């Protein structure tokens, strides 16, 4: 996910358009190949794999997940869905206590319990979340630390500054 500052002072934290277009190009290439193949031969069971890959590419293109942080109207809006079928949640900025950035090793309760060399599936992860005054938490992003390469941490700092809230983190 990437952070986009808007001219009105708000910020969008969402999947980039480039990622979505990559899924669209992949799907279009599959359709073109499928159409050429249908003209030359009859449809057999082997066409199921490209059809499934096309549907997965179409799903990737249509998937939306976006966070809108608007300090002017003091609203945080979360949208998730596929194409035009969306679910929206709105949170008042006054209900937000702070933002939290935490790190953990997948498969272990704490980093202290993890051995020096752990298996490939047990990788370091980063969690960016919102803490509310009623002691509930809403995760914004959970991503591998290596995949994030510091972008989640930077985005968390910018969002906390924008919304004028504290950012707590373990920064390990």
Q: Extract the tokens encoding 64.
A: 């939306």
User: What pLDDT is recorded for position 110?
Assistant: 53
User: What pLDDT is recorded for position 33?
Assistant: 79
Which segments of the chain have a pLDDT < 50? Answer: none
User: What pLDDT is recorded for position 4?
Assistant: 87
Q: Say which residues have a Cβ less than 8 Å from residue 46's Cβ, sequence separation at least 6.
A: none
In CATH terms, the fold of domain 2-17+62-169 is PH-domain like (2.30.29)
User: What pLDDT is recorded for position 90?
Assistant: 94
* Helical axes 17-40 vs 48-62, angle rounded to 10°: 160
Write down the domain spans for the chain: 2-17+62-169
pLDDT digits (tens, 9 = 90+) for 53-90: 888 999 989 999 999 999 999 999 999 999 889 999 99
User: What pLDDT is recorded for position 138?
Assistant: 92
């Amino acid at each position: 996910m990437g952070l986009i500052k808007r001219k009105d002072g708000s910020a969008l934290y969402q999947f980039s358009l480039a990622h979505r277009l990559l899924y669209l190009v992949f799907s279009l290439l599959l359709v073109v190949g499928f159409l050429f193949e249908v003209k030359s031969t009859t449809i057999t069971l082997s066409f199921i794999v490209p059809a499934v890959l096309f549907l997965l590419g179409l799903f990737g293109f249509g998937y939306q997940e976006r966070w809108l942080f608007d300090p002017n109207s003091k609203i945080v809006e979360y949208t998730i869905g596929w194409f035009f079928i969306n679910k929206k949640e709105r949170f008042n900025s006054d209900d937000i206590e702070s933002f939290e950035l935490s790190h953990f090793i997948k498969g272990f309760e704490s980093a202290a319990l993890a051995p020096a060399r752990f298996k490939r599936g047990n990788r370091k992860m980063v969690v960016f979340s919102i803490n509310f005054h009623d002691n509930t938490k809403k995760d914004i992003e959970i991503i591998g630390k290596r995949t994030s390469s510091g972008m989640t941490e930077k985005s968390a700092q910018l969002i906390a500054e924008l919304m004028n809230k504290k950012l707590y983190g373990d920064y390990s």
